[in-house]
């Protein structure tokens, strides 16, 4: 994505072919190694979940799912929304259809569900490889890999460091030993997450422009796109807070209206998550991925401190507010990194 608007047609073909071919070779090594490590973990942990076929199906599905991502990115950045729509919708509908057949008709339960997902991934793996290599040679260019390595390497630990920001709130809540209030929190979180679900397609629609303007340093156009998205986020969050009492009462049949206080706070978090996606996209578009690593590391440390202190002194509300403060800090930190570089 970071080179799409910088390279010519032939260069892009070589880049795409190289990245996909390298991923295929990588997974020939990665898949069996991961499967062996996973089997050792299952034995040592005395897990009650059967290792076979669930581990094979789960791991295989994850490995095969990578390649359709290249096609989706290509459709989005090349301004082919209908191709993207048919590809994504076709994938979802086929996954549901095949899974239902094995679950309902064959009566295989969870195993049938996972078999259905795996078969669907196989079909789309074949389709993706065909689309990629029908007009590209099967090549691996060292200079492409060298460049990709420098860009991608900081993003690997950055992804792991982002996990506490997403999940540490429930770890803190679980330790409070108040399942009912934790349930209300997660009802509010789930409903507030609708904001993120609703707004993320807007971000994806403008993401190619963000990458284009950021990569080519067209700051004036970039600011217009960012400000438009910020306005959409602010208006959406405000409308949600105004309507949340009616919405939550309707969705929970009037049983869990106490979740409204959590939903309103976590709605702000959902809005900030979209703003974080924007700032992260700008950093990645400029290939300054070390900044992502630094910001994620600082925010992961901060979130653990804030979530813990919020839960200790202000209980569940404190944890909810801590999510807002963490994402606000993360967004402001990345904005500072972006503007500081431009200055």
The full DSSP string for 81-142 is HHHHHHHHHHHHHHHHHHHHIIIIIS--HHHHHHHHHHHHHHHHHHHHHHHHHSSS-----H
Which stretch of DSSP H or E encloses residue 179? helix 179-215
Q: What is the pLDDT of residue 343?
A: 39
Q: What angle do the packed helices 289-342 and 260-285 form, to 10 degrees?
A: 80
Q: Exposed/middle/buried for 139, CB within 10 Å: 0-12, 13-18, 19+? A: exposed
Q: Which of 166, 189, 170, 190 is nearest to 178 (CA)?
A: 170
Assess contact for 182 and 311: CB atoms under 8 A.
Answer: no
Assess contact for 311 and 172: CB atoms under 8 A.
Answer: yes
Q: What is the pLDDT of residue 150?
A: 87
Tell me the backbone φ, ψ of residue 2, rounded to 5 degrees. Answer: -75, -20
* Predicted TM-score of the model (pTM): 0.79
Reported as a single tens digit per residue, the pLDDT across 248-305 is 998 888 888 999 999 999 999 999 999 999 999 999 999 888 998 999 999 999 999 9
Q: What is the pLDDT of residue 341?
A: 53
Q: What is the pLDDT of residue 342?
A: 47
Furthest CA-CA distance within the chain: 63
Please list, in sequence order, all residues whose beta carbon lies within 8 angstroms of the beta carbon of residue 87, skipping any fewer than 6 positions away. Answer: 68, 71, 72, 75
Rounded to whole angstroms, how far apart are CA atoms 69 and 61?
Answer: 13
DSSP 78: T
Mean per-residue pLDDT pooled into runs of 10, the chain (343 residues): 87 90 91 91 80 87 90 88 88 92 87 91 94 84 90 87 84 87 92 92 89 91 94 96 92 88 95 95 91 91 93 92 95 90 46
Q: What is the pLDDT of residue 302?
A: 92
């Amino acid at each position: 994505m970071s080179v799409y608007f910088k390279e010519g047609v032939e260069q892009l073909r070589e880049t795409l072919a190289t990245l996909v071919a390298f991923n295929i070779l990588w997974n020939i090594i990665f898949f069996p190694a991961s499967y062996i490590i996973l089997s050792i973990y299952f034995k040592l942990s005395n897990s009650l979940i059967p290792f076979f076929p669930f581990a094979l199906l789960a791991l295989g599905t994850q490995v095969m799912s990578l390649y359709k991502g290249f096609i989706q990115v290509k459709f989005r950045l090349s301004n082919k929304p209908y191709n993207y729509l048919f590809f994504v919708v076709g994938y979802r509908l086929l996954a549901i259809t095949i899974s239902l057949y094995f679950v309902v008709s064959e009566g295989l339960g969870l195993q049938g569900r996972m078999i259905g997902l795996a078969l669907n991934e196989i079909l789309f793996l074949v389709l993706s490889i065909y689309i990629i290599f029908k007009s590209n040679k099967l090549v691996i260019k060292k200079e492409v890999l060298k460049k990709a390595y420098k860009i991608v390497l900081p993003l690997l630990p950055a992804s792991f460091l982002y996990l506490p920001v997403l999940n540490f709130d429930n770890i803190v809540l679980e330790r409070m030993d108040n399942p009912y209030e934790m349930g209300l929190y997660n009802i509010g979180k789930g409903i507030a997450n609708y904001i993120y679900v609703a707004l993320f397609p807007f971000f994806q629609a403008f993401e190619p422009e963000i990458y284009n303007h950021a990569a080519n340093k067209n700051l004036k156009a970039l600011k217009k796109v960012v400000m438009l998205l910020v306005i959409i986020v602010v208006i959406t969050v405000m409308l949600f807070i105004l309507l949340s009492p009616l919405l939550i009462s309707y969705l929970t049949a009037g049983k869990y209206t106490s979740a409204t206080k959590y939903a309103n706070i976590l709605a702000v978090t959902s809005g900030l998550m979209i703003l974080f996606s924007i700032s992260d996209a700008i950093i990645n578009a400029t290939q300054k991925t070390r900044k992502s690593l630094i910001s994620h590391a600082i925010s992961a440390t901060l979130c653990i401190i804030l979530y813990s202190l919020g839960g200790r002194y202000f209980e569940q509300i404190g944890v909810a507010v801590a999510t807002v403060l963490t994402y606000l800090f993360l967004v402001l930190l990345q904005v500072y990194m972006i503007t500081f570089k431009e200055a």
